[in-house]
Amino acid sequence: MNWMLLALQTATLSATNYGVDAPMTAPSQPATLADEFDGKRVDQTIWRFDTSRNAEGWYNNEKQYYAADRRQNTRVEDGVLVIEARRETLSKAKFPDWGGQGYTSAKLVTREQLGYGFYEVRAKLPCGRGAWPAIWMVGEDASWPEVGEIDIMEMVGWDPNVIHATLHSGAFNHRLGTQRGAQKTVATACTAFHTYQLDWKPESITIGVDGRAYMRVENDQPGGKAAWPFTRPYPLILNLAVGGDWGGAKGVDDRSFPQRLSVDYVRYWKHGD
């Protein structure tokens, strides 16, 4: 979701010409990296909190302040990670990087850079108007969109239960209207846990839910890194944004807050392990 100046985002965010229907099966061996959220709080040997743009404001005209290890916004309850977006203002004295935002939330990023492999994130999504949950990956060693972005799951609260899988690169991105992706309706995305999956290989990226792929993009276009920058590791990101050019395209319903993104587990199998 590292996007700016999105005048046409609502209409063109997720191209639908890369749809597929195929099985997706997680590897049977133990995961290379896993967090089952069995502890009492976020394991900061696995995750870090991204607060880097709080003072200046986040991309896409989003409205949230991302708190670091604040229980009101991030906690582990009964084996589930809860990322909670709240309608509130903070004190500059207590939160020096507060940029005047009217909402708080959290953004977690894996400390480890992950690459080719199979990913599973079991989550229940928030559906209040203005909520914008995401499970995604983006490179950190170049500028966007050239660095590449893999959106495993995005949903906006004003269009509940419609999930999006999208790839962005220098040649294929929403600014050009060339982004590659698909969408799928999951009728109980906001009331039940579902397993969001990514199979990232050198020759293809496949994304699905609950054991069925619904998007696949092949590494078959000319253009080098501009077409396929997905050759180096990225961190995995979990966040719940508020408002913004897409998430807030139909306003924010303050009455629906607080909103929660609940995550039962995160698992990653490195290909070849």
pLDDT at 11 over 80: no
pLDDT at 128: 97
Please check whether residue 107 is in contact with residue 238, taking contact to mean a CB–CB distance below 8 angstroms. yes
Checking if the pLDDT of 19 tops 60, the result is yes
Q: Could you give the CA distance from residue 115 to residue 181 in angstroms, rounded to a whole number? A: 19
What would the mean pLDDT of 50-61 be, rounded to a whole number?
97
Q: What is the pLDDT of residue 143?
A: 95
Collapsing DSSP to helix, strand or coil, 11 comes out as helix
Q: Which residue has the tokens 């929660």?
A: 260
pLDDT at residue 141 in the model: 87
pLDDT of residue 12: 40
- 115: region left, alpha or beta (phi > 0 left; psi from -120 to 50 alpha): beta
pLDDT at 56: 97
Looking at residue 204, its pLDDT comes to: 98
pLDDT band at residue 93 using 50, 70 and 90 as cut-offs: very high
At 273 the pLDDT is 62
Report the pLDDT value the prediction gives residue 225, as an integer from 0 to 100. Answer: 95
Sketch out the chain's domains with CATH numbers. Answer: 13-270 (2.60.120.200)
pLDDT in tens, 149-175: 999 999 999 999 999 999 999 999 988
Q: What is the mean pLDDT of residues 182-186?
A: 97
| pLDDT at residue 266, as a whole number | 99
Where does the pLDDT of residue 16 fall: very low under 50, low under 70, confident under 90, or very high at 90 and above? Answer: low
How far is it, in rounded angstroms, from Cα 20 to Cα 73?
36
Q: What is the average pLDDT value for the chain, to the nearest integer?
A: 94
- Does the structure show a pLDDT above 50 at 8? no
Query: Which amino acids are annotated catalytic?
Result: 149, 154
What percent of the chain shows pLDDT beyond 90?
91
Given a cut of 90, is residue 87 above it in pLDDT?
yes
What is the structure's pLDDT at 10? Answer: 35
- Please state the rounded mean pLDDT for residues 217-240: 96
Is 187's pLDDT higher than 80? yes
CA dihedral 131, 57, 135, 167 (to 10 degrees): 110
